[in-house]
């Protein structure tokens, strides 16, 4: 499925005042990361909704979403098995009382795949590269922290999910390495759209879609300088996670690393 979707296109609709959005089209290519930014209540979630439902002028915003430059078929829009879109929310929680290993095995079976011990091991390995709190195959899902849960699901959608388009809604407070998480998704050729207020995430994207008054006001290409700023913020955030773990363990923090220090 991933290889079949090379591009998602957003065609203009209207804002909350009924005015037509002032852009011709927004093309999002395979392997791109797009940030959706704007004030609270500006309409960011509506854009995610339009993409998730492959809107054809039938939503509140009247936008039209194209897949590979064409209008999606009714089957693609309505059949759950096609699973074009995967969505991860900030408030996501597990409710199943099973181990991480068994959960991933069930997900593989649900996708019509054989249980693959090597793939399960790889998913957990990548999840542990995203979160500072180690996840083991035998860890119960209900015992995972928020950061561990987000890390596991990001690695899951990158490696097991067939969905080529990933929607992330405000994961900035999840306690994960955000830069690494985005890198894993892009390496798998996913199209990633993320609603965020976090400069670390916003500056690690290719473009920023600015939402105002329910409409897309403009699109900004992320500059090289902004990417550098995002990398710095990500480093600070990850170092804060290291210090947090020391505090949790009752250890003293004698020294704070500087960004310019070389890794040993």
Contact 142, 153 (CB under 8 A): no
The token duo for 70 is 């064409």
Buried b / exposed e along 33-70 (16+ C-beta atoms within 10 A): bbbbbbeeebbbbbbbbbbbebbbeebebbbbbbbeee
Note the pLDDT of residue 2: 43
Please give the model's pTM, rounded to 2 decimal places: 0.79
Given the candidates 3.30.110.70, 3.30.930.20, 2.40.30.260, 3.40.50.300, the CATH classification of the domain at 2-248 is 3.40.50.300
Note the pLDDT of residue 261: 57
d(CA 62, CA 73): 18
d(CA 1, CA 178): 25
CA atoms within 13 A on the CB side of 143: 11
CA atoms within 13 A on the CB side of 61: 29
Tally of helices (H runs) and strands (E runs) in the chain? 8, 9
d(CA 127, CA 177): 10
Helix residue spans in the chain (DSSP H): 44-52, 74-78, 100-110, 117-130, 146-159, 178-187, 199-202, 224-248
In the block, residue with structure tokens 């809107």? 55
Strands 191-195 and 33-37 come out as: parallel
Residue by residue, pLDDT tens for the chain (264 residues) are 444 788 999 999 999 999 999 999 999 998 899 999 999 889 999 999 999 899 999 999 999 999 999 999 888 777 655 668 888 776 666 767 899 999 999 988 887 788 889 999 999 999 998 887 889 999 999 898 888 888 898 899 888 887 889 888 876 556 678 778 888 888 888 899 999 888 888 998 999 999 999 999 999 999 999 999 988 888 887 777 777 778 878 888 777 666 555 444
DSSP structure class, residue 168: E
d(CA 150, CA 94): 10
- The burial of 123, by beta-carbon neighbours within 10 Å (0-12 exposed, 13-18 middle, 19 or more buried), is given as buried
Note the pLDDT of residue 90: 63
First to last CA, the chain: 42
The kind and range of the H/E element at 28 are strand 26-29
What is the chain's Cα-based Rg? 19
Phi, psi of 49 (to 5 degrees): -60, -45
d(CA 138, CA 148): 14
Contact 189, 134 (CB under 8 A): no
């Amino acid at each position: 499925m991933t290889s079949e979707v090379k591009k998602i296109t957003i065609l203009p609709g209207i804002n909350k005042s009924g005015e037509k959005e002032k852009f011709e089209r927004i093309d999002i290519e395979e392997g791109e990361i797009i940030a959706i930014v704007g004030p609270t209540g500006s309409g960011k979630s509506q854009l995610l909704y339009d993409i998730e439902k492959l809107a054809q002028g039938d939503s509140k915003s009247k936008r039209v979403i194209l897949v590979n430059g064409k209008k999606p078929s009714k089957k693609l829009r309505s059949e759950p098995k096609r699973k074009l879109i995967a969505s991860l929310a900030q408030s996501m929680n597990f409710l199943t009382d099973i181990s991480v290993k068994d959960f991933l095995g069930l997900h593989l079976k649900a996708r019509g795949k054989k249980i693959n011990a090597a793939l399960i091991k790889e998913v957990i390995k990548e999840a542990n590269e995203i979160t500072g709190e180690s996840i083991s195959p035998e860890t119960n899902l209900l015992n995972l922290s928020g950061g561990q849960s987000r890390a596991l699901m990001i690695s899951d959608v990158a490696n097991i999910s067939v969905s080529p388009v990933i929607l992330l809604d405000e994961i900035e407070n999840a306690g994960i390495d955000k830069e690494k998480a985005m890198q894993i998704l892009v390496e798998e050729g996913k199209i990633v759209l993320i609603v965020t207020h976090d400069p670390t995430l916003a500056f690690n994207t290719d473009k920023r879609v600015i939402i105002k008054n329910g409409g897309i006001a403009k699109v900004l290409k992320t500059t090289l300088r902004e990417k550098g700023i995002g990398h710095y913020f990500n480093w600070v955030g990850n170092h804060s996670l290291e210090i947090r773990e020391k505090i949790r363990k009752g250890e003293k923090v004698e020294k704070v690393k500087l960004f310019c220090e070389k890794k040993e």
